[in-house]
């Protein structure tokens, strides 16, 4: 590739400056927000791809993509441009970039005292490279020793990414190693760089396969650097700052789109296994699951149908029902609904070459096309070859939505599970319709799953317009949080996976994917032994997506009752999940409205505490629950670091109080998940230990964990009917509380707004058992509150 070197200012417009580079390329510097700039390079004045599907600052993008020149949704603040000493300076009130000759950029930020301080700079030697005779681009930045790198979506290994090299090339990574396998399922070339004084985000809006090197590579001819390189497309990146890592993550979500607010039932336990739908009597196996949940008193809200229900001779054929396995889909769906359970069905975007409808779809031209011949591309898929649907073709979208509606929704299926959608089409020049403007697949591979899930979502919305949709997708790119819940894919059963899946989940959460989980118990390989299974369930119930899913080598099934001796421990963990559903639901609301991550590394709320940055197996659920999962066999105690805060922490079970900033050891018998609660918190709890039903959920407890001594804290509980859009018009209940503590009194002030009236009428207030101070609720010596007041 050829280094870009000499530039000259070519144009200044209202919102950006343009530089002519080496007499033929255009570099555009955009000022989008006070602390958000964009750098775009147009090769010979043209873009390889003139659209984006990831940038959605105010509303969703058009189906055909958002034009890269579109600046809507940004505040576009005032800025200045100064030329001096062979440099160019572009500055807002908060961020400043200096363009040096030959080409490299130097960034500064303004601190609270008004001083300009160094942020980051490009590598002064060979900062920007383009392939002079084809595809390929690269960008190099200098790397400092005091920087910590995070992000990149679902990556294996440690949460901190320093010293590693990663690849973005979506793969169906069946049975991956959670410590080391790369690449995996998702395409999110977004990094957070954290320093003591400032943090910043860097997002490359390029959808072709790419590599990010964060200190693995060293070259004697250059100072320490980091590298992003893509096989095709454009150099188009967004640089933005935040005082904390949390600010950067939230800014990235605002840039790429709001988190979908799904129905409350999506937070309940969801059963799944390949075994049931692969069985010759799949319908009987599935119906038996309902009976077994009842027999073992396991609460459950949904079941995810693996693709075996579509099979012909062991292979999978989307939108085909195997009527020998499932002779009465509507009867089966109704049985699940009668039991309070919803159904999600697995669907795949590739039609095998002998699919009953392959010829029909090919004749209509709905597949991605071969690069050299006038025929559909053919790729390896599920032990055969098949062709992938082209979701940049509106007719393919319509065909897909018709299939979702007639073959799933009208059969009583409630949700779509969009799977095997990595689009492993390795003929990079294979042709996509591009909504009338042909595009090579190499430019938009991860957009295909994004449009697939959007097509599924819109079909669900049209079918049930009064209900909020719930969807699942394994693959995708930045922006997929607008449509789906996701998970860490086909993990392998072992203790390492339990430990590192947690870190993978936190990495996704830092990268804007808040609604996530893992296949609890492990998907592939050996079945989990009883101890591993219990610990995995205890970990899984503390994730937004809680699904036990498996395809064990010995054809066994991971089920809550698979080991009778530990079934009580499994049941206890799932019951804890259901007790906490009001808290989970409030967190999902806050993720949607306030862009707050649900899963949080401990440093996210405690950056002043250096110990929280050390790799660990702990995480926060919201700001208030510290989860200390046991991830090693044989352990019956758990040593846990309590993040240093002003209020301290309570043991969730014993209500013992501990000051922050210290190691403590908690008992961790097999039936117990160690949990700590932030002092000053109030956890909303339910007594309904069965499927979600707003009208039947008739009790609510607010469990206080007061500050010791003097202090004031606050929070909110969100309630609605759990499935409609009523909250948009005020038909919800927002219960806001403030807890003021002193030496003698705990004053709890509660207020409510909103038109919705829940199944519960009284909010019961409880305190730690050894709390001696007087409790007053809205000035009265009582321990309850009625929202009708």
CATH number at residue 39: 2.60.40.1760
Angle, helices 530-540/567-579, rounded to nearest 10 degrees: 0
39: β partners: 29, 237
Residue range 391-409: mean pLDDT, rounded: 98
The predicted-structure confidence for 238-288, as pLDDT tens digits, reads as follows: 999 999 999 999 999 999 999 999 999 999 999 999 999 999 999 999 999
Q: Is the model's pLDDT at 789 over the cut of 60?
A: no
Q: Measure the CA–CA gap between 194 and 157, rounded to whole angstroms.
A: 19
Domain assignment of residue 30, yes or no: yes
Give a yes or no: residue 486 inside a domain: no
Say whether pLDDT at 303 is over 80. Answer: yes
Q: Which residues pair with residue 16 across a beta bridge?
A: 30
Within 13 Å, how many C-alpha atoms sit on residue 140's CB side? 22
Last residue of a domain, one of 622, 644, 678: 678
Of the residues 649, 678, 707, the one at which a domain ends: 678
In this predicted structure, what is the pLDDT of residue 765? 98
Mean pLDDT of 165-185: 98
For residues 740 and 606, state if they share a domain.
Answer: no
Beta strands in 696-744 (DSSP E): 700-705, 711-719, 733-741
State the pLDDT at residue 423: 98
pLDDT of residue 496: 98
Number of domains in the chain: 3
Indicate whether 765 belongs to any domain.
yes
Name which of 395, 313, 396 is nearest 356 in CA terms.
313
Instruction: Give alpha helix (H) positions in 355-434.
Output: 358-363, 394-403
The residue-averaged pLDDT of 291-315 equals 96
Place of tokens 């808290």: 583
Alpha-carbon distances of 18 from 30, 40, 121, rounded to whole Å: 9, 9, 19
- Tokens 């044989």 belong to which residue? 634
- Do 25 and 118 fall within a single domain? yes
Q: Are residues 92 and 221 in the same domain?
A: yes
As a whole number of angstroms, the distance between CA 70 and CA 79 comes to 19
- At residue 85, the pLDDT reads 85
**Based on the domain organization, do 715 and 649 belong to the same domain?**
no
Domain assignment present for residue 582? The answer is no
Which pTM was predicted? Answer: 0.97
For the stretch 462-492, what's the b/e string if a residue is b when 16 or more beta carbons lie within 10 angstroms of its beta carbon? ebeeebbbbbbbbbbbbbbbbbbbbbbbbbb
For residue 788, name the pLDDT band (cuts at 50, 70, 90). Answer: low
Q: What gap in Å lies between CA 6 and CA 18, rounded to an integer?
A: 13
Is there a single domain that holds both residue 778 and residue 630? no
Start-to-end C-alpha separation, the chain = 71
Report pLDDT digits (tens) over 184-217.
Answer: 999 999 999 999 999 999 999 999 999 999 999 9
- Are β-strands 116-121 and 199-204 bridged in parallel, bridged antiparallel, or unpaired? unpaired
Could you tell me which of 198, 102, 214 has the C-alpha nearest to residue 158?
214
What confidence tens digit (pLDDT) does each residue in 671-701 have?
999 999 999 999 999 999 999 999 999 999 9
CB distance 775 to 767 below 8 Å: yes
What is d(CA 471, CA 225) in angstroms, rounded to the nearest whole number? 40
| 400 within domain boundaries | no
Confidence of residue 428 (pLDDT cuts 50, 70, 90): very high
Rounded CA separation 409/351 (Å)? 20
Same domain, 29 and 134: yes
SS3 of 707, please? coil
User: Per the domain annotation, does 50 fall within a domain?
Assistant: yes
Based on the fold, state whether residues 119 and 205 are members of the same structural domain.
Answer: yes
The dihedral built from the CA positions of residue 67, 472, 626 and 264, taken in this order, carries a sign that is positive
Q: What is the CATH classification number for the domain harbouring 623?
A: 2.60.40.1180
- Distance of alpha carbon 246 from alpha carbon 260, whole angstroms: 19
Structure token digits, residue 599: 């899963």
* 161 and 73 both lie in a single domain: yes
In the numeric block, which tokens belong to residue 503?
A: 């870190």
What is the model's pLDDT at position 133?
81
pLDDT of residue 383: 87
Q: Is the pLDDT assigned to residue 333 strictly greater than 90?
A: yes
Mean pLDDT along residues 490-510:
98
In percent, how much of the chain has pLDDT > 70? 100
Does residue 142 sit in helix, strand or coil? Answer: strand
Q: Which H/E stretch holds residue 82?
A: strand 80-84
Dump the DSSP string for 618-676: EEEETTTEEEE---STT--EEEEEE---SS-EEETTT--EE-SSEEEEEE--TT---EE
For residue 629, give its domain range. 599-678
Q: Is the peptide bond before 102 cis (omega within 30 degrees of 0)?
A: yes
CATH number for the domain that contains residue 720 = 2.60.40
Count of CB atoms situated within 10 Å of the CB of 655: 16
The predicted pLDDT at position 331 comes to: 97
Q: Are residues 605 and 752 in the same domain?
A: no
On whether residue 546 sits in a domain, the answer given is: no
What is the pLDDT at residue 166?
A: 98
Task: Report the C-alpha gap between 337 and 326 in whole angstroms.
Answer: 17
Structure tokens at 174: 């069946």
How would you label 237-270 residue by residue, b for 16+ Cβ within 10 Å and e otherwise? bbbbbbeebbbbbbbbbbbbbbbbbbbbbbbbbb
Same domain, 618 and 728: no
| Separation CA 202–CA 613 (nearest Å) | 20
Tell whether 50 and 182 lie within a shared domain: yes
Please enumerate in sequence order all residues whose Cβ is within 8 A of that of 735, keeping only pairs 6 or more positions apart, or say none.
Answer: 716, 717, 718, 719, 750, 751, 752, 763, 787
Instruction: Give whole-number Cα distances, 555 to 72, 74, 275, in Å.
Output: 53, 53, 7
Please tell me the predicted confidence (pLDDT) of residue 787: 74
- Residue at 301 is within a domain: no
Choose one of 256, 271, 305: the last residue of a domain.
Answer: 256
Instruction: Determine what percent of the chain is predicted with pLDDT higher than 90.
Output: 98
**Given pLDDT bands bounded at 50, 70 and 90, which one contains residue 97?**
very high
Same domain, 648 and 777: no
- Mean pLDDT value of segment 710-732: 98
| Of 481, 482, 446, nearest in space to 52 by CA | 446
Count of CA atoms in the C-beta half-sphere (13 A) of 273: 21
């Amino acid at each position: 590739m050829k280094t870009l070197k000499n530039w000259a200012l070519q144009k200044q417009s209202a919102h950006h400056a343009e530089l002519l580079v080496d007499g033929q390329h255009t570099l555009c510097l955009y000022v989008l927000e006070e602390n958000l700039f964009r750098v775009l390079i147009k090769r010979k004045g043209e873009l390889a791809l003139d659209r984006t599907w990831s940038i959605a600052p105010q509303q969703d993008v058009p189906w055909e993509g958002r034009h890269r020149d579109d600046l809507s949704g940004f505040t576009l603040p005032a800025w200045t441009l100064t030329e001096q000493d062979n440099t160019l300076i572009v500055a807002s009130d908060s961020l400043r970039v200096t363009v040096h000759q030959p080409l490299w950029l130097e960034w500064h930020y303004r601190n609270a005292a008004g001083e300009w301080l160094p942020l980051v700079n490009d590598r002064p030697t060979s900062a920007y490279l383009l392939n002079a005779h084809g595809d390929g681009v690269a960008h190099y930045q200098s790397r400092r020793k005091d920087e910590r790198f995070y992000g990149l979506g679902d990556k294996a290994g440690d949460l901190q990414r320093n010293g590693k090299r990663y690849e973005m090339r979506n793969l169906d990574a069946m049975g991956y190693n959670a410590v080391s396998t790369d690449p995996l399922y998702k395409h999110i070339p977004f990094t957070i760089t954290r320093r003591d004084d400032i943090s910043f985000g860097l997002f490359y809006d390029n959808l072709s396969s790419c590599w990010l090197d964060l200190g693995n590579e060293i070259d004697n001819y250059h100072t320490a650097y980091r590298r992003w390189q893509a096989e095709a497309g454009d150099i188009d990146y967004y640089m933005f700052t935040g005082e904390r890592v949390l600010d950067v993550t939230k800014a990235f979500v605002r840039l790429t789109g709001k988190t979908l607010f799904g129905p409350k039932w999506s937070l309940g336990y969801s059963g799944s296994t390949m075994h049931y739908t692969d069985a010759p009597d799949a319908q009987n196996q599935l119906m038996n699951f309902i009976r077994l949940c009842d027999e073992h008193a396991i609460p459950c809200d949904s079941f995810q149908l693996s693709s075996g229900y579509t099979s012909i001779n062991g292979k999978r054929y989307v939108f085909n029902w195997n009527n020998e396995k499932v002779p009465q889909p509507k009867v089966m769906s109704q049985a699940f609904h009668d039991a309070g359970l919803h159904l999600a069905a697995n669907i795949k975007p590739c039609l095998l070459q002998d699919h009953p409808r392959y010829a029909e779809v090919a004749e209509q031209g709905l597949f991605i096309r071969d690069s050299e011949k006038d025929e559909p591309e053919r790729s390896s898929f599920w032990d055969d070859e098949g062709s992938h649907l082209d979701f940049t073709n509106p007719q393919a979208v319509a065909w897909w939505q018709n299939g979702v509606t007639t073959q799933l929704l009208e059969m009583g299926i409630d949700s779509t599970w969009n799977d095997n959608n990595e689009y492993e089409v390795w003929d990079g020049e294979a042709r996509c319709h591009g909504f009338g403007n042909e595009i090579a697949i190499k430019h938009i591979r991860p957009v295909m799953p994004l449009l697939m899930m959007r097509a599924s979502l819109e079909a669900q919305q049209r079918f049930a317009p009064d209900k909020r949709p719930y969807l699942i997708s394994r693959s995708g790119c930045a922006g997929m949080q607008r449509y789906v819940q996701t998970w860490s894919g086909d993990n392998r059963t072992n203790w390492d996976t339990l430990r590192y899946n947690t870190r993978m989940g936190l990495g996704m959460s830092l990268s804007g994917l808040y609604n996530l989980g893992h296949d609890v118990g492990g998907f592939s390989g050996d079945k989990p032994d009883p101890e591993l299974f219990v610990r995995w369930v205890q970990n899984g119930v503390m994730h937004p997506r809680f699904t036990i899913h498996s395809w064990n080598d010995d054809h066994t099934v991971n089920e809550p009752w698979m080991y009778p001796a530990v079934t009580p421990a499994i049941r206890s963990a799932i019951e804890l999940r259901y007790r906490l559903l009001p808290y989970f639901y409030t967190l999902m609301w806050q993720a949607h409205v306030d862009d707050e991550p649900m899963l949080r590394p401990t440093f996210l709320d405690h950056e002043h505490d250096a110990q929280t940055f050390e790799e660990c197996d702990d995480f926060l659920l919201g700001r208030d629950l510290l989860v200390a999962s046991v991830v090693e066999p044989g352990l019956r105690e758990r040593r846990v670091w309590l993040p240093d805060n002003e209020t301290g922490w309570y043991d969730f079970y014993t209500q013992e109080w501990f000051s922050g900033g210290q190691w403590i050891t908690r008992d961790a018998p097999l039936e117990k998940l160690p949990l700590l609660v932030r002092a000053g918190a109030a956890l909303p709890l339910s007594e309904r230990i069965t499927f979600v039903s707003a009208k039947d959920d008739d009790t609510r407890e607010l469990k206080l964990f007061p500050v010791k001594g003097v202090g004031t804290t606050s929070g909110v509980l969100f309630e609605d009917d759990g499935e409609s859009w009523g909250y948009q018009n005020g038909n919800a209940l927002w219960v806001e509380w403030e807890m003021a503590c002193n030496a003698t009194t705990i004053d709890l002030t509660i207020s409510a707004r909103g038109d919705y009236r829940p199944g519960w009428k009284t909010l019961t207030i409880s305190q730690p058992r050894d709390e001696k101070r007087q409790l007053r609720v809205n000035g009265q010596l009582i321990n309850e509150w009625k929202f009708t007041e």
